[in-house]
Chains A and B, each alone.
Chain A
Amino acid sequence: GAGVSQSPSNKVTEKGKDVELRCDPISGHTALYWYRQRLGQGLEFLIYFQGNSAPDKSGLPSDRFSAERTGESVSTLTIQRTQQEDSAVYLCASSAELASGDTQYFGPGTRLTVL
């Protein structure tokens, strides 16, 4: 399909372990976003990438969280030394350009459970 894909769809890990979540944006989309959605909550912004510009990391909750993006393609979100409060659905979105009001297309998310 041509939509945003994320992997894995589900991840169960033990407290203290590191996890990597992957996002494949829509081809040609220059902007990529990561959000976190806790149970019963709205989406919480984490980070976004736009082309070769420095990413906006202002939403990352702690230094245990980091993300990378290779050019205008795949992105990985890494959570080190996971904690139980990191349990959530992590959603990735991409848009054609970084513009206010531009449509963000979301992937299905990765459900992370930290035991």
Chain B
Amino acid sequence: TQLLEQSPQFLSIQEGENLTVYCNSSSVFSSLQWYRQEPGEGPVLLVTVVTGGEVKKLKRLTFQFGDARKDSSLHITAAQPGDTGLYLCAGAITLGRLYFGRGTQLTVWP
């Protein structure tokens, strides 16, 4: 059983479309992170959110942390082929370990 349920698992869209990826849990997290992973590489951190209700923007990417700190979303506006990759959410409850979702494989077609 995954502590963080991430959806959808796969997303295939055309360039220019918008999309949202969700991470949900029944647990409360002290912080939540979003990573992007390319084939053959380790995950690279995109953002960390720590406050309930927090919204962070990174160019065309918008990240939101739920008020109760149990869920988060990643919204991409006007997706581009360069956005293709595996997106992972990860939450921290105690010091050290991160709990990862299964990931969302995003493919953006030109």
Contact = CB atoms under 8 A, between A and B. Distances in A.
Of the four ranges (under 10, 10 to 19, 20 to 34, 35 or more), the interface on chain B belongs to 20 to 34
Given A33-B97, A50-B96, A100-B30, A42 B103 contact: yes
B102 interface: yes
Interface string A88-115: 0001010000111101111111000000
Given A42-B102, A59-B97, A108 B92 contact: no
A44 B6 CA distance: 14
A40 interface: yes
Of the four ranges (under 10, 10 to 19, 20 to 34, 35 or more), the interface on chain A belongs to 20 to 34
Given A41-B102, A42-B101, A100-B31, A106 B44 contact: yes
B2 interface: yes
Contacts of A91: 42-43
B110 interface: no
Contacts of B6: 42
A99 B95 contact: yes
Given A42-B101, A100-B30, A101-B50, A33 B96 contact: yes
Contact of B48 (A4, A33, A103, A106): A103
B48 A101 contact: yes
Nearest to A99: B95
Contacts of A12: none
Contacts of B30: 100-101
A32 B47 CA distance: 20
Interface string A25-47: 00000010101000011111100
B98 interface: yes
A48 interface: yes
B100 A44 contact: yes
14 contacts: A4-B42, A33-B96, A41-B102, A42-B100, A45-B99, A48-B96, A56-B96, A58-B97, A59-B97, A91-B42, A100-B94, A101-B50, A103-B48, A104-B98
